[in-house]
A and B are shown apart, each in its own frame.
Chain A
Amino acid sequence: MSRYVARRFLYMIFTMAIMSVVAFIIIQLPPGDYLTSYIMQLQTSGQTVDAAQIEMLRRQYGLDLPLHEQYLLWISKIVRGNFGISFDYNRPVLELLAQRIPITVLISSLTLLVTYVIAIPIGVYSAVRQYSIVDYVGTVISFIGLATPNFLIALILMYACQRLFGFNASGLFSPEYANAPWSLAKFIDMLKHLPIPVIVIGLSGTASVMRVMRASLLDELKLEYVEAARAKGLKELALLLRYPVRVALNPIVSTIGWVLPGILSGATVTAIVLDLPTVGALMYRALLSQDMYVAATCVMFLTFLTVIGTFLSDLLLMWVDPRIRYE
């Protein structure tokens, strides 16, 4: 058991290590180095940059070193919590992210929760009452949910809100609360804005989890232990929940491993369309202006979130599935 946890944990570290290399490559990819764009920016804002200053900056960022040393320099700074500076905002990257991390975590975990809370009961119902109306409607919705790009749903829902309720769904807060300190009114305002992003981001995940739940429960229902439990004299509903649904939950738990990356992917596009203050939206802006330290840190953070999430789901799987616990 502890070997399993240790292995999963090592794997998490390993993924983050690879991701840091990928992030570093992303920083290096744009033509020229980031100093060039920084200098260009200084120049466009009317400041003069002399050669000595450039040389100083170059050395400060280690740009005269070979690539692998640059990487080591960069990663050693990151380990110490120094993620570099945003050229766009002229502020430390960490400071920029600090406001957005809680909102990103909130939206993603809420979506994850809603995804499973909706998908599991519908999946169970459509398996138990196969070919019923609920089953058909669920199948149709899940097909459409999987086929429609996130941003399209976001646009349509925003448009519908505007037309039907005159409610501006974009952003996470109404303008009057955007810069206000936290209060009950601001919190309620946020709750009003949350459903649309959660629906938009969660739809495709809900659709696939529903289908996995339905398929695995259909498989379980055919197995003999269900009949054996029925032969004990259990009530049908209790039987269903205690045995096949319980067993079918194991594959469901392991879906978190790919639903969560999907949610963070979807959240990135959706946040851009809905103008939500998340890490993904920040990354988009950073990418457009080649603010590469910010972009790389965002990619790393989003990966970090999924890796942590997957690790937690592995622990959860161990808790629900004795076959893994006693491996």
Chain B
Amino acid sequence: MGATLLEVNGLKTYFHLEEGVLKAVDGVSFRIERGKVLGIIGESGCGKSVTARSILGLVARPGKIVGGEILFHRADGSVVDLARLDPQGDEIRDIRGKEISMIFQEPRRSLSPVHTIGEQITEALLLHRTQDHKEAREIAIDMLRRVGMSNPEVRFHSYPHQLSGGMCQRAMIAMALCCRPALLIADEPTTALDVTVQAQIIDLMLELKEQIGMAMLYITHDLGVISEVADEVAVMYLGRVVEYAKTERLFENPLHPYTIGLFNSLPAFSSAKGRLQAIPGNVPIPIDPPPACGFATRCSKAMAGVCDAAVPELVEVEEEHYVRCFLHHEERAVS
């Protein structure tokens, strides 16, 4: 077991809306080791993006972290609970962009349309790494070269609207990595890109991860991508982690009915021959949810009186393989 970088324990981020309390993240726990990649997978609305934003204190009103802790092991050896920091305070700002960076789904919308790529990268450098504008410029151009941009000196002066989506994402990556963060949070970084470009960006990120020696929290709804990048996977559903395991183990032996459903809905992983199986129904909106398994309404194996009566615990069914499902509560009880 490597050195722990980030530990999230029982994180709860709620949105207080007029209609009620939306429990976007409701007791999420995971751990990321230095240099490793944790993948979070789930449908839209499962709380994976809110989890990522909670780590950086970027949850927008009316959302708020209401419980749990986010322990981050800083470069200087100290451990801070990011959940307790003032989201506008100096300490979290010192961590943002320097020790933890983030890249987003829509590269072109994540860059300011009225500033050049260069201006936006050097800004991060000037905040955290150097006071010298000339040096910042050199580092920025070097980063642009390393993310595979031809003519970095020219690109430095380009505006986002002059670049393709893939090029913009490369620029975003350069911006996120220029201060050599210990953790990169990637929130669906390739979803908006063409398939061929997707593969290039993923390869680039893995390569840079090795060079810089950083860890990654990779968020996606794409099982194929997860299998390529992640060392460990957390499957999220309705604000909770429902299954958590090493990647190979999860792909060999998915246990939660939701995870199985995800695999069956993909051609490459489907166990059943013939038609792909879609998970019936839609993700409910977790406003004032009842105390029940969130998946019970769509689960073919749901047990009346059990699954709709309480929230199952996340239990370790085999070594380092955790599942939140009453079916497997029984199993452990038997063994």
Q: Does a CB–CB distance below 8 Å link A and B in the complex?
A: yes
Interface size counted on chain B using CB atoms at 8 A? 36
Segment 291-312 of A: residues with Cβ below 8 Å from B: none
> Is A168 an interface residue, CB under 8 A from the partner?
no
Report if A227-B58 is in contact (Cβ < 8 Å); known contacts: A233-B128, A247-B114, A323-B159.
Answer: yes
Closest to A325 in B: B159
> Is A176 an interface residue, CB under 8 A from the partner?
no
| Interchain CA distance A33-B123 in the complex, whole Å | 68
| Interchain CA distance A232-B96 in the complex, whole Å | 5
| Interchain CA distance A233-B175 in the complex, whole Å | 12
- Of B96, B113, B116, the residue contacting A231 (CB under 8 A) is B96
> Is A230 an interface residue, CB under 8 A from the partner?
yes
Of the four ranges (under 10, 10 to 19, 20 to 34, 35 or more), the interface on chain A belongs to 20 to 34
> Is B320 an interface residue, CB under 8 A from the partner?
no
Are B102 and A228 touching (Cβ within 8 A)? yes
Other than the given A223-B109, A224-B110, A231-B97, 14 more pairs (CB < 8 A) read A227-B58, A227-B60, A228-B110, A228-B111, A228-B175, A232-B175, A233-B94, A234-B93, A235-B93, A250-B114, A322-B159, A323-B113, A323-B159, A326-B159
Residues of A within 8 A of B (CB): 223-225, 227-236, 242-243, 246-247, 250, 320-323, 326
Residues of B within 8 A of A (CB): 53, 56, 58, 60, 88, 93-98, 101-106, 109-116, 120, 123-124, 127-128, 159, 161-162, 172, 175-176
21 contacts across the A-B interface (CB closer than 8 A): A223-B109, A224-B104, A224-B109, A227-B53, A227-B110, A228-B104, A228-B175, A229-B120, A230-B58, A231-B96, A231-B176, A232-B96, A232-B97, A232-B124, A233-B93, A233-B124, A234-B123, A247-B112, A321-B114, A323-B159, A326-B162
Are A246 and B56 touching (Cβ within 8 A)? no
Are A224 and B113 touching (Cβ within 8 A)? no
| Interchain CA distance A234-B105 in the complex, whole Å | 20
| Interchain CA distance A225-B127 in the complex, whole Å | 17
| Interchain CA distance A230-B112 in the complex, whole Å | 12
Are B159 and A231 touching (Cβ within 8 A)? no
CB distance from B70 to the nearest CB of A (A): 15
Residues of B within 8 A of A323 (CB): 113-114, 159, 161
